[in-house]
């Protein structure tokens, strides 16, 4: 019964997942070429993962470190390594420190590319991990938790982008995401109920 509920909730979360992607894309669109550079980072890791190397062992190593940081709580120890994309978080925090200490300029394209690359790495490897954990045919646990994890990952990255770049606004991202979510639910409600 719990599996059916998880699957149904996952289906209802899909519009939120789409809206989060659209909200991030909309906010990045205001940065001109940086959106394309971010997407090239996502595409680059995806192709790298499929055809060259997956970084799975490095990923597991850093996941264990993050789990150890949150060992004070079993819930935090299991959730936080999945919700916090460690590579992206480390990159954007180091960039924040370096730009404020040394007034670094001109590294934005590299940072956007690596942000897309590391976010794709995290999402793809978390998806593989969650998929392997769910032995059931329809994968309700997988679909439920990948939706929640993806939403959490994008929210964390949006907060870190807001911290680093003046043109990126978490509030604007949130408004775009909320607007898209409401629009998608209204559309689906009208399409399937009426």
Note whether residue 193 is domain-resident. Answer: no
Note whether residue 118 is domain-resident. Answer: yes
Q: Are 153 and 85 in contact (CB under 8 A)?
A: yes
* Helical ranges in the chain per DSSP H: 2-29, 33-51, 56-69, 74-83, 86-102, 108-133, 140-164, 170-192
Domain that residue 97 falls in:
23-182
Number of domains in the chain: 1
Separation CA 132–CA 153 (nearest Å): 20
Each residue's pLDDT tens digit, 130-142: 898 888 887 888 8
Each residue's pLDDT tens digit, 102-160: 888 788 999 999 999 999 999 999 999 989 888 888 788 889 999 999 999 999 999 99
Q: What is the pTM of this model?
A: 0.89
pLDDT for the residue numbered 111: 94
Each residue's pLDDT tens digit, 8-41: 898 999 999 999 999 999 999 887 888 999 999 9
Note whether residue 67 is domain-resident. Answer: yes
| Mean pLDDT score across all residues of the chain | 90
In whole angstroms, how far apart are CA 50 and each of 10, 44, 117, 125? 26, 10, 13, 12
Note whether residue 15 is domain-resident. Answer: no
Q: Which of the four pLDDT bands, split at 50, 70 and 90, describes residue 161?
A: very high
């Amino acid at each position: 019964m719990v599996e059916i509920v998880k699957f149904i909730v996952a289906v209802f979360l899909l519009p939120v997942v789409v809206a989060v992607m659209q909200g991030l894309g909309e906010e990045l669109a205001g940065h001109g070429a940086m959106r394309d550079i971010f997407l090239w980072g996502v595409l680059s890791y995806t192709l790298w993962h499929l055809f060259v190397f997956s970084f799975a062992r490095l990923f597991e190593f850093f996941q264990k470190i993050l789990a150890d940081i949150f060992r004070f709580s079993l819930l935090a120890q299991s959730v936080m390594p999945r919700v916090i994309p460690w590579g992206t978080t480390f990159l954007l925090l180091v960039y924040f420190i370096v730009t404020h200490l040394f007034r670094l300029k001109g590294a934005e394209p590299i940072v956007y590319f690596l942000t897309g690359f590391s976010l794709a790495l995290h999402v793809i490897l978390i998806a593989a991990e969650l998929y392997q954990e769910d032995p059931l045919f329809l994968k309700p646990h997988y679909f439920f938790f990948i939706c929640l994890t993806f939403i959490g990952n994008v929210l964390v990255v949006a907060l870190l982008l807001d911290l680093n770049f003046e043109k990126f606004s978490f509030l604007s991202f949130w408004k775009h995401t909320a607007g898209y979510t409401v629009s998608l639910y209204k559309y689906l409600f009208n399409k399937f109920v009426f």
